[in-house]
Chain A
Amino acid sequence: MYTARVKFKRGNEIRFISHLDMQRMVQRILRRAHIPMKYSEGFNPHPKLAFAMAMSVGMLSDCEYFDVELENHVDPDEMISRINKSSPEGFTAVNALVTNQKMQSLTSLIEESEYTINAKLLNSEDSKKLEDAVKTILGEESIKYRKRNKKGRYNEKEIRPLIKDLDLVIENSKIKLGMRLSTGSKENLRPDVVIGILDPEKILFDWEFGFLTKRTFLGKSNLRERI
């Protein structure tokens, strides 16, 4: 049995689809590309496809991964080219690795990600306030985040250690906010939580203009890409 690990990008054209849609889309791409997927047994066979991390609706990415089990070996370069020929605009496979060795699961490999967020200031005079808010977060030793759980009760969670780095660039009223946050099955922090902490009263960012979030790197803290 072989496993292919594929790195891909998600562009603007498909950023509004959900994680479930994404899984379905990739299955169909692989089928059109005649990639010999291995199926599960049973009444309702499905391909064995696993993504590193779900992506929220609206998010772009330069670096995502999925694993798929194969019936036989496929040349990685050929796989990439066949996938890209069968993909909709906005989906690009970048790299692949095909092996018959057991690989560590994607979810267990992921520890943190980098994000770039494009946004706008509500008032251009407020740049100082936002810079201060960033500094405050970085200066804090502890940040508690209150979150409603599924039962409707509030949970408090320490999130400061999950914020590895913040980096703010403001030009006129345009904002480029870099974040490095814990990601993965153990600890996970979503960038919109940090945005909420930076601007709890919604007076700094132009919320109506919105936030364009791009995951630029998904991987381990050793700062090397997986493939």
Chain B
Amino acid sequence: MISEIIIPKLGATGGDVTLDEWLVPIGAFVNAGAPIATLTTDKATVELEAFRGGYLRAILARPGDTVPIATPIALLADSSDEPLGEYAARAITNLKETTTLLTANTDAVESQISNQKSAIENRKPQPPPQAPIASSSIAPLLQLPFLLALFRSMSLIRRFEDTLYQLFLQGLVPGTLHQYQGQEAVAVGVSAALNKDDVIFSTHRPVGHLLAKGSSARGVAAEIWGKAAGCAGGKGGQMHLCDITIGAPPSNAIVGANIPIATGAALAFQLRGEPRVAVSYFGDGATNIGAFHEGINLAAVKNAPVLFVCENNGYAASTHISLTSRVPDLAVRAEAYGIPGVIVDGMDVLAVYDAAQQAVSRARRGDGPTLLECKTYRYMGHSRGDPGGYRTQHELAEWRARDPIERLRLLLVAQHNVSPDTLTAIEIETQAQVDDAVAFAQAAPEPEPSLLETHIYA
């Protein structure tokens, strides 16, 4: 749904106001109550707030413009590419290029595909990232098909999660949601370093991990909808995705619990002499639970072939990492166990791939575990319905400016001569894949009552 943000009556005089500045980039998510622009009247400068959460889909005025009260000035949407409908002609969707207005296309029967296409095409590459923590020096060594596969995989996750969020806003998704937007480079970079028979142990935020390892979007979607066709028959739900065919035992909703479990899987490979590796994904928050210490220490002393991937997105639910750890870099904890701790830019898929690749080879060689700390960010709230009142819009915007998908897009276009159309085509395909998965999940039959009592024991 598109909602207008209207210039309120300011002060007693009620005269026109001037728009000073937009505080949020177009396309960014804003929480209800967050300031989105500053306005000046003849008396004061005030902040204009979003009356609901949503994406700043478009603006209707530029800084310096005089705007009459009670007129709409910005449009909030449920996704960053929701069609603008009747507003299309007036909307400014890219402030930098004020000349580029969306061409009016108010035809109501415009097909969904072309809507998506125009939305995707109108999204410009983001500005170059800030200095990355780890460099993607391997980029020139990588082949184009590999890079395109990384792009496709990240795009699939983003489209899946964004689509789910839209449906969630419409009340169409049962159960809970913990979303992965922003962190795609971690799952995709790590998965690219793994073999098919390597195993991953995921968390309450598992969609990215499973899709990146190759689980089917249909199976994942149907699981979230609690259908028998779900990858866990509907019994698991969003937090317990499981697809053993791609090496994913049930993802774990007990924070940190999968750390010793991954160690055990790695010990099994070691005992049987199999050249396989186990991965444990967990968040910054998990590094403070006992299972983290016990699981990593055991793996360390046994040289178990396991990769501990800490996705440090700065927050455990509402709690910032600075409130729960005296060390900002969680990788330094590796030293206490005598294993390598590596910090990597988790917004750079190539940097993640590079580091994961080295750690995986180390593990496969029999040289033991690595703690890989990926600095990243989650764009959405912690779980369904979390408006994220504990963090600033500014912080979110800063991280969005380092978006992993846009960074790879930039690299592909600038250094590999890939045409933007090729990438757009990939995104249209992944969106179609997601739409198919959702349709499949929604149409799939409910589980039979008898399933309630199956598989309690093997």
Q: Do A and B share a complex?
A: no
User: Which residues of B come within 8 Å of A, CB atoms?
Assistant: none
User: Which residues of A come within 8 Å of B, CB atoms?
Assistant: none
